[in-house]
Amino acid sequence: MTKPLMAKATAVWLVDNTTLTFRQVADFCGMHELEVQGIADGDVATGVKGFDPVANNQLDAIEIEKGQKDPLYKLKLKYNAAAVGEEKRRGPRYTPLSKRQDRPAAILWLVKFHPELSDGAIGKLVGTTKPTIQAIRERTHWNINNITPVDPVALGLCKQSELDTAVQAAVRKKAAEGVVMTDDERRKLVSTEQSLGMAPEARVPTGMELFGEPEEDRRTAADFSDAESFFNLPQGSDDDEDEAEDPRSR
């Protein structure tokens, strides 16, 4: 059942001004019975001003009378045509004015790094329209030369979990269509955690890997484990040392 506006304040008013049971108030306001009891005891909603549901056209006084006479009676929220379908409203995500200028950069990033995402998925992620996405895809946007792709998560336009969910949905759609993807495409389609767990990509081996290292270069760190061995340079003969020490030998 739909809850009334300002449910907690409505519960405070019903507890203070009626003899309805805690369960009746809890059911009407979408709360737990113990929470309503806490309101009556003064432990919950301290300082909250009561909100009259009758004066605000959310509850008929007849409903309160029926509820006070019958403890098992459940109050019925008054029909409000303006509130019908409010929770099921669908459309583009609302983007604050301060971040709307960042949407083209986020769209270009998604188009570039996740081309498998549909225009509808991109629109839901960053809160934009299909014509704008199409213009950026076709590079006909009026400011396309000045747009730099930026991760929408870094811009705060969507959460990483939302982006991962959209990408995983694209993976399932690709699999259902039987499209064979390359390793590079799979890395773009999966989340960061999954991508890190993949096998490394194949690469061309270097010459050292093909032909091995020269003998003189096959020295390990153990060969230089102490300073004495590192500085233990080859010594000359005793005659050379005597000539170096005797100035008359020059």
pLDDT tens digits along 137-178? 999 999 999 999 999 988 888 888 888 888 888 878 877 776
State the distance between the two ends of the chain, measured CA to CA, in whole angstroms.
110
Contact 64/70 with Cβ under 8 angstroms? no
- Does this model's pTM top 0.75? My answer is no
pLDDT at 81 over 90: no
pLDDT in tens, 170-183: 878 877 776 555 55
The answer to whether residue 88 scores a pLDDT higher than 50 is no
Share of residues in the chain with pLDDT > 90 (%)? 21
For the chain, the structural domain boundaries read: 7-83, 92-200
Handedness of CA 215, 220, 225, 227 (dihedral sign): positive
Residue 97 confidence (pLDDT) above 80: no
| pLDDT in the model for residue 4 | 82
What pLDDT digit, counting tens, does each position of 203-245 carry?
445 555 545 555 555 555 455 455 555 555 555 545 554 554 5
Q: What would the mean pLDDT of 113-119 be, rounded to a whole number? A: 88
The reported pLDDT for the residue numbered 89 is 46
Of 55, 31, 35, 54, nearest in space to 43 by CA = 35
Q: What is the pLDDT of residue 78?
A: 81
* Residue 2 near residue 58 (C-beta atoms within 8 A): no
> Greater confidence, 147 or 188?
147
Per-residue pLDDT at 45: 76
More reliable by pLDDT, 183 or 108: 108
In this structure, the number of other CB atoms found within 10 A of the CB of residue 167 comes to: 20
Dihedral sign, Cα of residue 15, residue 18, residue 24, residue 29: negative
d(CA 97, CA 141): 20
